[in-house]
Structure formats: structure tokens, C-alpha cells
Amino acid sequence: MQTSTITIDVHLDKDKVPEQINWKADSTAEVQKAKALMLSFWDSADKSALRIDLWTKDMMVDEMADFFYQTIMTMADTYNRATHNQEMVEDMKKFAKDFYAKFREQQMKESKA
């Protein structure tokens, strides 16, 4: 059996808050930096998702909104490839677009205040 390895290194400050996230996969030669990660595993025995959600303390709120928008859109694409359920995919993408539009609207209101 062939295997592939993905390595994730999380550098913590003295309070154990992530300061830097680095990752590397077998397919990439260089270490990649990231400000956030969401990793999910499906436990079929318990029928539950196991998750690791981390972000660095210098990740800005607007970056988090972008990250969530892009992640939801990517999840919709993945769900489409797995199920071909176009109606559900469109619902997920609509939610992502509505989420992002609402975030931007809130940001505009805050910047005027």
C-alpha cells in the first residue's frame, strides 16, 4: 500500500495560542505558511465529524470571512463531485454568497460609524 504524509506544525506562544502554522505535503517541496486551518475527519463508527480548527492570533476578521466563504464554496464543489445533488450544492453556494454579502455589509456599517 502506498502512503502520503501531510505534516502540520503549529507554533504556540507562552499561552498556547497559535502564532504560526506551517504545513508540508509529500507533493510540495517547500513548507507552506497559513494563518488558519480546518481539518475534518469522518468517524463512521460514531457517525460524527472530528475537527481541528486553528487560527493564528494575527488573522484578521476580514481574512476569516474570506476563509469561511471560500471554504463553504469548496465544500459545495466537493459535495457536488461526491453526490451530484445540484439542488443542495446551489443552496450551499447561495448560503456562502449571502454570508459574505452580509459580512461586507456589516463591515461597511462599522467603517461609517
- Look at residue 113 and tell me if it is in a domain: no
Spell 29-42 as b/e; 16+ CB within 10 A means b. Answer: eeeeebbbbeeeee
Indicate if 97 and 75 belong to the same structural domain: yes
45 and 68 share a domain?
Answer: no
Considering the domain architecture, whether residues 51 and 86 belong to the same structural domain is answered as no
Residues 64 and 52 in one domain: no
> Are 1 and 52 found together in one domain?
yes
Expressed as residue numbers, the domain containing 52 is 1-58
Task: Please report whether residue 73 resides in a domain.
Answer: yes
Q: Give ∠ CA 18-100-111 in degrees, rounded to 5.
A: 80
Which pLDDT value is given to residue 29?
75
Same domain, 84 and 104: yes
**Mean pLDDT value of segment 48-74:** 97
Can you give the pLDDT at residue 57? 95
In the chain, how many domains are there?
A: 2
Please write the tens of the pLDDT for every residue from 23-46.
999 887 799 999 999 999 999 999
pTM of the full predicted structure? 0.89
Specify whether 39 is located in the same domain as 5.
yes
H or E stretch covering 19: strand 18-25
Q: Per-residue pLDDT tens for 71-110?
A: 999 999 999 999 999 999 999 999 999 999 999 999 999 8
**Residues 79, 26 share a domain:** no
Q: Which of 54, 18, 56 is nearest to 37 (CA)?
A: 54
